[in-house]
């Protein structure tokens, strides 16, 4: 059984099949379009369904054109405007636009999203938002423009109260677009169109799916829910009821929430992907997908997100590659004031479901929040914001150049840091810490830094009462003695700390003494002593186990020697020393000893 997919928290304003009375042109300064040439149910230019609403525009240079939908006429004027809901419009403007001289705010046109109330005058009761267009051709084909109406208008007009628009139950009467044609005349009056317009959160919910017939090479027919099925539902436009979800707009719909991306053979994320809901779990397993997170700069920072809900859900992501697609446009590259948000894309385990990420890569994205039932292996976080471990197990993961807006790459605790093993943290510049221990140390505590590698955080040292290093690899508040035990060849960390306590750093690697007799049979109960060569102090003195092995932790830079005798009783041969290499090395060492009756031979 495949997954089930549902559009949530969205209201359709028009599906493109509205009549002439539902479409109007602005008057006043936006009155250059050919008046009353609105085309009803245009079946030649459409994106969703079989029709769109289109209008003739003026072919002359530097002229304004517009097309607005009257929600009173379509019966959609009862929509509720709540925090987080956005206007979504599929718009077709397939020719050059002009943004005015030196990007002047007064003269700028390009493509603007429009909301109006109480009338269609171009000088009153209107807000406009810059969404596209500069001296270059607007990308051909249909564009999905998304605007949070709570934002301060970034276009040429700002006559409606943003605070009022953001109030519950208060939405604008007219929605649509306006644009300016390019700086020289065309040979004909071209068409421009508005297809589906919606208002809401832009959210797709995923439920259902099983692990009974997972098909990595055939995701469409896999029993597990996955991104392919999700995009197939998002882009369904065949009429009737989709196989894996309920029909919207008569089964003719293209939401743009999980849009198939022809550019990367992947998927475009806009809004919310909810993997599981509070009421229903999902079994979701996906392989080798590419996710493009669109910078919907007129929404808000938490607009794009992937959520995991319901503790009974299972989400397995294998080789997922996700990245923010920065908008290459004059709006953001030269005039950041016109882009109030950067919707980098966040990931959050809302509930403690079973989540596994293997071989994934997340780049230029926002925050990640995990819980204790998550397992991450060989997963890379590159130029993202903060990752919250939440008790998750991280093995072989990489954190590279965490965004400067974050204060650390990973937030952990003194009890869960040991679950971060064999990971790497790299910082090219700045003072962002690799790990912050979030709990204040109030009693003597030891934490393990297990096999983790550091680049760009300074040179750490071992010892008692080490000094604090600003921007160190580990950041902590301690009011007692905190001991950081560096194991398995990990890079010795620098530590930034405050409080009344102190920090000790000790380093050790695993050393194994393998004892056998001349016949190659393991000798259990052999007595093994390890001596520090510099002062002859004893570092370890114990017996081999049933497999003939004694294991202990040693400082990787400390030269040692080993002494072994057959047992710990007085009538056995004396200890015979076995000199080891000058040090055990960053990854530890294995020493092999062969016992004979009168002593030892070989290594």
Q: How far apart are CA 32 and CA 44, in angstroms?
A: 24
Q: How far apart are CA 152 and CA 161, in angstroms?
A: 9
Q: Is residue 348 part of a domain?
A: no
| Class of residue 534 by CB neighbours under 10 A (exposed 0-12, middle 13-18, buried 19+) | exposed
- Per DSSP, the residues of 511-533 read EEEEEEETTS-B-TT-EEEEEET
CA count, 13 A, side-chain hemisphere, 480: 12
pLDDT score of 362 more than 60: yes
Q: Assign residue 587 the CATH number of its domain.
A: 2.60.40.1120
Positive or negative, the CA dihedral 173, 177, 180, 186 is negative
Closest C-alpha to 273, from 215, 327, 220, 350? 350
Q: Is residue 413 part of a domain?
A: no
pTM: 0.86
Q: How far apart are CA 70 and CA 60, in angstroms?
A: 27
> What is the predicted pLDDT for the residue at 275?
98
The per-residue pLDDT for range 453-469, each reduced to its tens digit, is 999 999 999 899 999 99
Q: How far apart are CA 435 and CA 378, in angstroms?
A: 18
Q: Of 199, 231, 262, which residue is a domain's last?
A: 199
Q: How many domains would you assign to the chain?
A: 2
Q: How far is CA 213 from CA 220, 221, 603, in A?
A: 12, 9, 53
Closest C-alpha to 126, from 116, 138, 111? 116
Q: Is residue 54 part of a domain?
A: yes
Q: How far apart are CA 149 and CA 169, in angstroms?
A: 13
The per-residue pLDDT for range 534-560, each reduced to its tens digit, is 888 888 899 999 999 998 877 777 778
Q: Of 178, 199, 220, which residue is a domain's last?
A: 199
Q: Are 79 and 184 in contact (CB under 8 A)?
A: no
Beta bridge partners of 551: 512
Q: Is residue 354 part of a domain?
A: no
Query: Counting every residue, how long is the chain?
Result: 603
Q: 97 Cβ partners below 8 Å, 6+ apart?
A: 109, 110, 111, 132, 133, 134, 138, 179, 180, 181, 182
Q: Is residue 191 part of a domain?
A: yes
DSSP 305: E
More confident residue, 32 or 532: 532
Q: Which residue has the tokens 């939405």?
A: 171
Q: Which stretches does DSSP call E strand in 97-190?
A: 111-116, 126-132, 142-147, 174-180
Q: What is the 3-state secondary structure (H, E, C) of 393-424?
A: EEECCEEECCCCCCCEEEEECCCCHHHEECCE
**Percentage of the chain exceeding pLDDT 70:** 79
Q: How far apart are CA 435 and CA 447, in angstroms?
A: 12
pLDDT score of 138 more than 70: no
Q: How confident is the model at residue 583 (pLDDT cuts 50, 70, 90)?
A: low
Q: Which helix (H) or strand (E) holds 600?
A: strand 599-601
The per-residue pLDDT for range 239-249, each reduced to its tens digit, is 999 989 999 98
Q: How far apart are CA 591 and CA 603, in angstroms?
A: 6
Q: Of 171, 199, 227, which residue is a domain's last?
A: 199
**Average pLDDT rounded to a whole number, residues 94-110:** 49
Q: How far apart are CA 307 and CA 322, in angstroms?
A: 15
Closest C-alpha to 72, from 29, 14, 3? 14
**Average pLDDT rounded to a whole number, residues 461-478:** 96
| Class of residue 510 by CB neighbours under 10 A (exposed 0-12, middle 13-18, buried 19+) | middle
Q: Is residue 375 part of a domain?
A: no
Scored b (16 or more CB within 10 A) or e, 96-114 reads bbbbbeebeeeebbbbbbb
Q: Which residue has the tokens 């990854």?
A: 587
> What is the domain range of residue 133?
8-199
Q: Which stretches does DSSP call E strand in 174-240?
A: 174-180, 191-208
Q: Is residue 317 part of a domain?
A: no
Q: Assign residue 41 the CATH number of its domain.
A: 2.60.120.260
Closest C-alpha to 575, from 593, 552, 589? 593
Q: How far apart are CA 139 and CA 438, in angstroms?
A: 47
Q: Is residue 142 part of a domain?
A: yes
Write out the two tokens for 481.
Answer: 């003695």
Q: How confident is the model at residue 105 (pLDDT cuts 50, 70, 90)?
A: very low
**Average pLDDT rounded to a whole number, residues 356-378:** 98
Where does 359-484 have alpha helices with state H? none
**Average pLDDT rounded to a whole number, residues 274-286:** 98
Q: How far is CA 176 from CA 129, 196, 435, in A?
A: 11, 11, 47
- Per DSSP, the residues of 262-279 read TTTTEEEE-SEEEES-SS
Point out the least confidently predicted range of 205-214, 273-282, 516-525, 580-589. 580-589
| Class of residue 583 by CB neighbours under 10 A (exposed 0-12, middle 13-18, buried 19+) | middle
Dihedral of CA atoms 296, 300, 302, 304 in degrees, nearest 10, equals -20
The per-residue pLDDT for range 505-525, each reduced to its tens digit, is 998 777 888 988 888 899 898
More confident residue, 259 or 328: 259
Q: How far apart are CA 151 and CA 341, in angstroms?
A: 9
Scored b (16 or more CB within 10 A) or e, 211-228 reads eeebeeeebeebbbbbbb
Q: What is the mean pLDDT of the chain?
A: 84
Rg value, the chain, Cα: 32
pLDDT score of 186 more than 70: no
């Amino acid at each position: 059984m495949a997954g089930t997919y549902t559009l949530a928290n969205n209201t359709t304003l028009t599906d493109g099949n509205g009549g002439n009375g539902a479409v109007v042109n602005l008057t006043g300064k936006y009155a250059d379009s050919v008046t009353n040439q609105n085309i009803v149910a245009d079946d030649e230019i459409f994106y969703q369904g079989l029709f769109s609403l289109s209008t003739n525009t003026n072919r002359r240079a530097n002229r304004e054109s517009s097309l607005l939908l009257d929600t009173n006429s379509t019966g959609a004027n009862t929509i509720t405007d709540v925090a987080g809901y956005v206007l979504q419009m599929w718009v077709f403007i397939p020719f050059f636009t002009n943004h005015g001289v030196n990007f002047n705010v007064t003269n700028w046109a390009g493509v603007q999203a429009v909301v109006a109330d109480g009338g269609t005058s171009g000088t009153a009761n209107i807000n406009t938002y810059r969404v596209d267009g500069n001296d270059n051709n607007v990308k051909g084909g249909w564009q999905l423009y998304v605007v949070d109406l709570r934002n301060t208008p970034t276009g040429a007009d700002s006559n409606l109260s943003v605070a009022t628009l953001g109030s519950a139950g208060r939405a604008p009467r007219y929605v649509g677009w306006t644009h300016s044609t390019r700086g020289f005349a065309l040979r004909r009056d071209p068409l421009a169109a508005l297809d589906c317009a919606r208002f809401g959160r832009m959210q797709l919910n995923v439920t259902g799916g099983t692990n009974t017939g997972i098909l990595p090479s055939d995701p469409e027919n896999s029993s597990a829910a996955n991104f392919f099925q999700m995009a197939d539902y998002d882009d369904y436009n065949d009429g009737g009821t989709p196989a894996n979800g309920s029909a919207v707009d008569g089964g003719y719909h293209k939401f743009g929430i999980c849009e198939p991306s022809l550019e990367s053979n992947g998927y475009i994320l806009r809004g919310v992907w909810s993997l599981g809901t509070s009421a229903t779990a999902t079994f979701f397993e996906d392989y080798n997908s590419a996710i493009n997170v669109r910078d919907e700069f007129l929404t808000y920072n938490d607009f794009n997100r992937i959520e995991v809900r319901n503790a009974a859900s299972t989400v397995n992501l294998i080789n997922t590659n996700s990245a923010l697609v920065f908008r290459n446009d004059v709006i953001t590259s030269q005039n950041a004031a016109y882009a109030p948000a950067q919707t980098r894309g966040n990931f959050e385990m809302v509930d403690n479901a079973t989540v596994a990420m293997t071989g994934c890569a997340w780049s230029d994205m926002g925050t990640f929040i995990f819980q204790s039932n998550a397992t991450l292996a060989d997963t890379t976080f590159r130029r993202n914001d903060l990752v919250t471990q939440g008790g998750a197990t991280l093995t072989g993961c990489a954190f590279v150049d965490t965004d400067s807006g974050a204060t650390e790459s990973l937030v952990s605790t003194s009890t869960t840091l040991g679950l971060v093993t064999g990971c790497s943290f790299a910082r090219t510049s700045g003072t962002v810490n690799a790990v912050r221990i979030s709990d204040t140390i109030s009693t003597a505590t030891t934490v393990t830094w297990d096999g983790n590698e550091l680049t760009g955080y300074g040179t750490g040292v071992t010892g008692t009462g080490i000094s604090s290093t600003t921007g160190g690899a580990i950041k902590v508040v301690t009011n007692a003695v905190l001991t950081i035990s560096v194991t398995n060849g990990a890079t010795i960390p620098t530590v930034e700390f405050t409080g009344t306590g102190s920090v000790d750093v000790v380093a050790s690697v695993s050393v194994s003494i393998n004892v056998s007799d001349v016949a190659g049979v393991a000798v259990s109960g052999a007595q093994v002593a390890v001596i520090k060569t510099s002062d002859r102090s004893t570092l370890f003195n114990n017996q081999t186990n049933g497999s003939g092995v004694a294991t202990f932790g040693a400082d990787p830079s400390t030269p040692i020697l080993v002494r072994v005798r057959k047992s710990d009783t007085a009538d056995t041969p004396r200890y015979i020393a076995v000199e080891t290499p000058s040090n055990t090395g960053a990854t530890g060492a294995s020493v092999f000893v062969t016992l004979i009756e009168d002593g030892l031979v070989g290594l």
